[in-house]
């Protein structure tokens, strides 16, 4: 498969308050609700980092609610 020039553009790994990850063009301002996760590189490098660190795809609020339910609590 041929790589496009967009694949070699610099990207940042970004993360939101629900601990969900994405990539964002490094030259663009990070959108509201997201923050820099500290990794910049080409698309492949950023996606590899996300694959390594984002091991639980469930949003943080769901993980907390499930943990609370397991512990017998009612607070999410």
Model pLDDT for residues 16-73, shown as the tens digit of each residue: 999 999 999 999 999 999 999 999 999 999 999 999 999 988 888 888 888 888 888 6
CA atoms of 76 and 21, how far apart (whole Å)? 22
What is the model's pLDDT at position 63?
Answer: 85
What is the model's pLDDT at position 57?
Answer: 85
Bigger pLDDT: 15 or 61? 15
Question: Residue 36 in contact with residue 18, Cβ under 8 Å?
Answer: no
Helix (H, G, I), strand (E, B) or coil at 19: coil
Domains of the chain are 8-25+36-58 (3.90.820.10)
CA atoms of 30 and 15, how far apart (whole Å)? 10
């Amino acid at each position: 498969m041929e790589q496009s020039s967009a694949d070699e553009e610099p990207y940042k790994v970004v993360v939101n308050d629900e601990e969900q990850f994405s990539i964002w063009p490094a030259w663009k301002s990070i959108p509201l609700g997201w923050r820099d996760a500290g990794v910049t590189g080409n698309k492949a490098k950023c996606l590899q980092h996300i694959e390594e660190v984002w091991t639980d795809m469930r949003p943080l609020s769901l993980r907390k609610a499930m943990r609370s339910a397991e512990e017998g609590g009612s607070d999410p």
